[in-house]
C-alpha cells in the first residue's frame, strides 16, 4: 500500500477543499456533475490519503497534492470545470461504448486518460478497465527502435506511473519489463549515434519516461547524464540550438525543445535532475532557448525556414511547402515546447493563451490545467 506522507495540517485543509469541490465530481457515465457532496468527498479524501505517493511531480505526472490542487482549481474556475468535464465525459462515453472496451489496440492516449480519471475520482472502474490493457501490452508491444516512432510510449508510461501504487507486485514486474524494453532500445540507438538533434532529444525523452514508469533510478540517472551531455553540445549561449543551425528552422528548434522539456518534467518528478534550471558551460539553457523564439512570435524578427538546411530533403520533399517561407506563430496554433514549459513558468504558456485569446486552457488541453496545479501545489 502507498504510504501517506502528508502532514496533519495538510490533511485537514485537503479535506475541507475536497468537501467543497466534491459536489461537482464528474459522473463518468453521463458527463454531468453529481451532487452527493459528502459521500463523494469522503471517498476521494480517503482515496488520496490512503494511496498517497508522497513523491514529487510535474505537469504530466501529477501526484496527490497536485490532484487536490486540480480539485481546488475546478471548484473556483468555470473554464477549468468545463475543460475537465469534457475530458471526463469522453472517458465516460468510452466506458459505455458497445464494445465495452474503452481502449483500442495501442491506444496509449486513452490509457493515460483512464489513469487520470482514476486518480481524479477514485472510481475503480477506470482502474479495472486500464489494468488489463497495460498487462496485455506488456506482453505484446515492442519498441521499433526509432525514437520518433516510439514517442507514443510516453502516454503509456504516464499511465503506469500514475497507477503504479495500485498494481500488485506481479503486475508491476510485467509492466516494468515492458518499459525497460523501451529504455534498452533507446540506449542501443543512442550508443550508435554521434548526432545532437531532435532525434536524440526524443530518444532520451522516451527512455526517461519509460525509466520513470518502471521506477528505475539507475536508468533515469543515465538519461539525465546523457541529456546534459546532449544539451551541452546542442543548446548554445545565444539561445539557438543544434537543430536551428542544422535545419535552419524555428519549427525544428521547437520540436527538439519540446522533447527536452517533457523529459525535464519526468526527471523532476523522480527527483533525478532539474534540467529546466540546468545551464551549460557556455550559458545555454532550456529557458534561454525558449526566449530565443519570442522575437519571432512578436514579429520583431523574421526567420525564413530551411534556406540553409544541411538536410536537402527539407527543401526537395519533406518541407518543400514550408521552405523559403517565414515561420509564424499562427493564431489558434500551438507553439511546440511552450506547453510543457508552462508547468515551470506560466510565461511560456501565456504566449499560447495570447495567440488564442479564448481560454486559460488553449486548445482544450488538459496539460494546461495540470501545469497550473503543478505551480500552485509546489
Write out pLDDT tens, residues 280-298: 999 999 999 999 999 999 9
246, pLDDT greater than 50: yes
Q: What is the pLDDT of residue 73?
A: 96
C-beta separation of 201 from 149 below 8 A: no
CA gap 240, 248 in Å, rounded: 10
- Tell me the mean pLDDT in the region 125-151: 95
Length of the chain: 378
51, pLDDT greater than 80: no
Residue 93 falls inside a structural domain:
no
Taking the model in full, what pTM does it have? 0.85
Q: What is the pLDDT of residue 37?
A: 37
Write out pLDDT tens, residues 174-222: 999 999 999 999 999 999 999 999 999 999 999 999 999 999 999 999 9
What CATH number corresponds to the domain at position 279?
Answer: 1.50.10.100
User: Count of CB atoms within 10 A of residue 220's CB?
Assistant: 25
Higher pLDDT, 284 or 20: 284
Residue 74 falls inside a structural domain:
no
Question: Quick one: CA dihedral 227, 239, 377, 154, positive or negative?
Answer: negative
54, pLDDT greater than 80: no
H-type helices in 235-345, by residue range?
Answer: 242-247, 250-269, 286-291, 294-298, 313, 338-341
DSSP reduced 3-state for 154: helix
164, pLDDT greater than 80: yes
Residue 317 falls inside a structural domain:
yes
- Reported confidence tier of residue 335, pLDDT bands at 50, 70, 90: confident
Q: What is the pLDDT of residue 332?
A: 62
- Tell me the mean pLDDT in the region 328-351: 87
Residue 136 falls inside a structural domain:
yes
* SS (HEC) of 18-79: HHHHHHHCECCCCCCECCCHHHHHHHHHHHHHHCCCCCCCCCCCCCHHHHHHHHHHHHHCHH
Q: What is the pLDDT of residue 360?
A: 86
Residue 37 falls inside a structural domain:
no
Residue 137 falls inside a structural domain:
yes
Residue 238 falls inside a structural domain:
yes
CA angle 81/331/306 to nearest 5° reads 130
CA angle 70/17/12 to nearest 5° reads 125
- Reported confidence tier of residue 90, pLDDT bands at 50, 70, 90: confident
Q: How many domains does the chain have?
A: 1
Residue 47 falls inside a structural domain:
no
Q: What is the pLDDT of residue 302?
A: 97
Domain region containing 259: 104-377
- Reported confidence tier of residue 362, pLDDT bands at 50, 70, 90: confident
Q: What is the pLDDT of residue 284?
A: 98
Write out pLDDT tens, residues 98-125: 454 555 556 899 999 999 999 999 999 9
Tell me what percent of the residues of the chain surpass a pLDDT of 90: 71
Q: What is the pLDDT of residue 359?
A: 77
Amino acid at each position: 500500500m502507498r504510504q501517506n506522507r502528508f502532514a496533519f495540517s495538510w490533511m485537514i485543509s485537503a479535506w475541507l477543499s475536497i468537501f467543497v469541490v466534491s459536489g461537482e465530481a464528474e459522473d463518468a457515465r453521463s458527463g454531468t456533475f453529481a451532487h452527493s457532496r459528502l459521500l463523494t468527498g469522503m471517498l476521494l479524501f480517503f482515496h488520496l490519503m490512503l494511496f498517497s505517493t508522497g513523491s514529487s511531480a510535474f505537469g504530466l505526472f501529477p501526484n496527490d497534492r497536485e490532484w487536490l490542487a486540480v480539485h481546488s482549481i475546478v471548484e473556483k474556475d468555470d473554464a477549468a470545470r468545463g475543460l475537465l468535464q469534457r475530458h471526463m465525459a469522453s472517458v465516460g462515453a468510452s466506458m459505455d461504448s458497445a464494445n465495452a472496451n474503452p481502449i483500442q489496440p495501442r491506444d496509449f492516449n486513452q490509457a493515460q486518460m483512464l489513469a487520470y480519471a482514476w486518480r481524479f475520482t477514485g472510481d475503480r472502474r477506470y482502474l479495472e478497465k486500464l489494468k488489463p490493457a497495460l498487462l496485455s501490452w506488456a506482453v505484446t508491444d515492442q519498441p521499433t527502435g526509432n525514437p520518433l516512432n516510439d514517442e507514443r510510449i510516453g502516454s503509456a508510461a504516464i499511465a503506469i506511473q500514475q497507477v503504479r501504487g495500485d498494481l500488485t507486485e506481479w503486475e508491476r514486474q510485467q509492466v516494468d519489463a515492458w518499459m525497460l524494453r523501451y529504455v534498452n532500445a533507446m540506449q542501443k540507438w543512442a550508443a550508435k549515434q554521434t548526432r545532437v538533434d531532435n532525434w536524440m532529444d526524443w530518444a532520451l525523452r522516451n527512455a526517461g519516461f519509460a525509466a520513470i514508469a518502471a521506477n528505475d533510478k539507475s536508468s533515469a540517472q543515465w538519461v539525465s547524464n546523457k541529456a546534459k551531455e546532449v544539451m551541452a553540445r546542442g543548446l548554445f549561449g545565444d539561445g539557438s540550438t543544434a537543430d536551428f543551425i542544422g535545419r535552419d528552422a524555428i519549427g525544428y528548434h521547437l520540436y527538439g525543445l519540446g522533447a527536452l522539456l517533457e523529459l525535464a518534467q519526468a526527471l523532476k518528478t523522480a527527483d533525478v535532475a532539474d534540467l529546466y534550471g540546468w545551464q551549460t558551460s557556455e550559458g545555454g539553457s532550456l529557458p534561454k532557448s525558449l526566449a530565443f523564439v519570442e522575437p519571432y512570435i512578436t514579429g520583431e524578427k523574421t526567420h525564413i525556414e530551411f534556406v540553409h538546411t544541411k538536410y536537402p530533403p527539407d527543401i526537395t520533399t519533406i518541407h518543400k511547402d514550408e521552405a523559403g517561407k517565414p515561420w509564424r506563430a499562427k493564431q489558434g496554433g500551438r507553439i511546440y515546447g511552450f506547453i510543457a514549459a508552462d508547468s515551470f513558468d506560466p510565461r511560456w504558456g501565456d504566449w499560447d493563451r495570447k495567440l488564442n485569446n479564448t481560454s486559460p486552457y488553449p486548445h482544450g488541453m488538459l496539460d494546461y490545467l495540470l501545469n497550473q496545479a503543478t505551480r500552485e501545489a509546489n
